[in-house]
Each structure stands twice: as C-alpha cells, then as structure tokens.
Amino acid sequence: MRQLLENGEQSAEENVSRFLTNIEAQNDTLHAFTQVYTDAALKRAAEVDQKIKAGRGGKLAGAVIGIKEAIVQRGEKATAGSRMLENFESVYDATAVRRLLDEDAIIIGRMNMDEFAMGSSTENSAFGPTRNPHDTERVPGGSSGGSAAAVAADMCHATLGSDTGGSIRQPASFCGVTGLRPTYGRVSRYGLIAYASSFDSIGPLTRTVEDAGLILEVLAGHDVHDATSSAREVEDYAQAAGQSVEGLRIGLPEEYFGDGLEAETGKLVRKRIEELEARGAIVVPLTLPHTKVAIATYYILATAEASSNLARYDGIRYGHRADQKKVAQDLAAEKKAIQDAGGDISELDSALIRLYKQSRTEGFGTEVKRRIMLGTYVLSAGYYDAYYGKAQRIRRLIQNDFIQAFNKCDVIVSPTSPGTAFRIGEKTDDPLQMYLSDIYTISANLAGIPAISVPAGKHATDGLPVGIQFMAPHFAEKQLIRAAAAVERLVRGAD
C-alpha cells in the first residue's frame, strides 16, 4: 500500500473512503466500531497525501488504524466498553496513539470491546456485542473483539488492542488475523485504561506478520510517562518476517496438546509444526509443569488488581454518577420509615456512601462486578496470604518454567485457543468455560513474555479460522515474527 501511495497509484483519501464504505456496509451487523471519525479521517488523509508527495511521510504514512476503546485519544470519548465511562472524554493522547500519529498514521475510529477488557467474547460490552465476520452467529473473541473483527472485515489496515490474559491473541485466532502481545514494558501503557496493571500490554492486530512488526517498531520504546516501560533498544522487527526458520528451535510443551484441545484444531496446529520442521526448524519436546494452575493464578491476581484499579470509579470526579437527589430522597424516606417504626438508623449508610454504591451498581456490568468482588475477596483480611500471596509465588514458578524452557528452545508453540469461535450466548451462563477459552494465552501474561497468534488455516469441519501461537523470551519479538511469518507463508502457499 505504501509503495502504491508513493508511486501515485493510490491516495490515502481513496483508501480512507474505501474503508468508510466498508464500515457503513458492515458495521450495523458486526458492531466492530463504536465511533467512526469520518470527517477527521478524510481531513487527515488529505494532509498525509501532501506529506507523501513532498517526501516527508512517516513510517506509517497512509496506514488506516482503529483504536480500542480502552486506549485514550485527546478530545475523543474513551468508554472502555462501560456505562461507567459512557460520556468520558480524554484530555490527552495515550503514548501509543501519539506515536502512531507522529508517524502519519490515520486513525479512523474506536473499536468495541468487553467492558474494561474483562471478557473473552466481546459480549460484555455495555454498547452491544461484536460479531465474527466469518460467521455472524459467533463471537469474535475478546476483549479486543472489535479490533480483530474490523481487520478481518477489511474495515481498516490494522488496529490497536490490549492484552491482559490473551485479549489480542484469542480474538486474532477467532477472526483469522495476526495479533501480537509484546513483552511487558516493551510498549508504554500510558493512556491505557487499566484492568490489571502488571499484566496489561498494548499491541497490534494486522493482516500480516510483517505489518505487526512494523507497527511494533513505532509503538515500542521507553516513555517517561510509564515507569514500567523499558529503555531497551527498539529493533527492526519487520525485517525478521523474511528470515528462514532453518535452525530455529521450537519448543513443544506436552501440557498444551492434551485434554481440552479440540481434535481438528490440534491436528491443524501439529501439521504446521511438522511443516516448519520439514523446512529446517528443530522441534524440542518440553514440559511446563505449572501450566495446570495458570488459570487459577491469573484469576486471583488479575481480579485483585482490577478491584484496586476500578476503585477510582466512584461517580464523584468522573464517570457515571447516580441521581444524587434521588439517592438522598430514598435515604431520607428509609430513615423516616425506620424511625416511625421505632427502629435504629445508626447502621444506615451515609448519603455519600449510598451515592458511591448506586453509581457503581448502575455503571458496571455483571462480569466487571463479578471480578471486582472476587478480587476484593482475595485481598481481604484473612484471605490475602491464602490466595493473593500464594498466587504471586506461583506466578514466579510459572515464569521460571518458561525461563528454563527457553534454555532449550528459541520459541514455544501452542494452539492459541482450544477451538474455533463459539456461538454468541453459548458460554455467557458458564463463566468458567468462558475463562478456559484463554487457557493457552494466559501463561504469557503471567510470565511477562511476548507472544503472537497467526492464522494456521481453516478448521476442517466448520471452516472457521484456527490460530497458532508462538511465545518467546523477554524482548525476543524478532523470534516470534520469524516463526509466525513462516507459518503465514505456509498458509498462503508462498513457501
């Protein structure tokens, strides 16, 4: 696309217009976009066209990108998929957004998501579910479901998502696109509405592995606004997409290919591994013994952090506020009724506490409330050591499993998800089954390592996309891109 722009065979305005046409035709059904910046995107495209003609275009000049609702942009609403922030307008740009703009990307709109990134299906959005472009009766995955669906449906070139337990990679798998979660600290979290701060990461969803590497080059690097961001040198990630896998050591953990993996999904992933081996990769059998407790560990630690992070939404400084007058009137009526009956009103909440409670009750959805309550419980007196403290120790053991494994291999391979996209409503009444859809992705977040999902092909029975995941040591994103691009070539018949 960039070459066509530079040759004058295309213009950024034409590209934006084409995407806007696609959005208009499909978004009422898919609901991938929550906001579309029609006029602003066209105006920006005209400016970028002039910069390209003058030879001053940035690294992403002309790239049309959507931004997940959890990543703030100055002057635009950032709802995080929640009624709590339905009318919240950001006064600053997230660092990731600013870096895209500095390299002349064109932001076309904002993407639907599970509320506060808590979900695996984008059914938890307060503004309605997103649907999978391959089958609109199925979910796109979550929480970055809108981001994945938009790329799959050709509504933009790429999107930004966030990944706390698999929220970039799992929807990438379900929608048949590439999704990259960088090493924790590789990309600044400044301007990402927090879910679980020690897990959260911003990354790209793209059509190709090379594009993911190119966008990562722009996003990565130290940021003075984020103390957890790394000052490590940013590498030429996109270049790694052209490298052979000959000599690449691929770890094959037995825990990721056992019970719970749907048969045809496992068969297709194994086929791609065998094809990589035929092209010179070296497959190394591995064991990651603490995998069996990864889900439990994650849902203790992440919910504890969510309980803490979401305490700020009290309806006072910003966010949804309940009707203060009605809260006061209801309290006064309740007091009078108790007093008239000769009862004790000393245990009643104050009007302020009532306002907090009512605002949070109205503003948060069911899944967010569930996770806040679980997180508050594991942090509470008498349970902190038994749950939160123990989970932190197990997190270190999980990280050690990966450190030891990477002494034997360069990347670790697994399915991205146990199966293909499930039907809308299929798992909403069974939270545990919903959580298990992230069983292969969560460990990377616990260990803080980078991981990527790339399409492995189509399922033999239902024809839906199947993703294959690669994980690598900290800051070894080039190895991920090298392996993922090799699979991409296999799927496209280019190798």
Catalytic residue numbers, as ranges: 68, 143, 167
List for the chain the helix, strand, coil content (%; round to 5).
45, 15, 40
Structure tokens, 358: 């009512």
Q: Which residues have C-beta within 8 Å of that of residue 208, sequence separation ≥ 6?
A: 178, 241, 488
CB distance 124 to 367 below 8 Å: yes
Alpha-carbon span 263 to 313, nearest angstrom: 44
Interhelix angle 294-309/390-405, rounded to 10 degrees, is 120
Q: How far apart are CA 453 and CA 177, in angstroms?
A: 8
Whether the CB-CB separation of 188 and 95 falls below 8 Å is answered with: yes
User: How would you classify the pairing of strands 249-253 and 411-415?
Assistant: parallel
Q: Is the dihedral of CA 456, 459, 464, 466 positive or negative?
A: negative
Largest CA distance in the chain: 85
282-286 vs 249-253, strand pairing mode:
parallel
Alpha-carbon distance of 362 to 321, in angstroms, equals 8
- Rounded CA-CA distance 406/38 in Å is 46
Taken in order 69, 185, 310, 175, is the CA torsion positive or negative?
positive
Tokens read off for 233: 């040198």
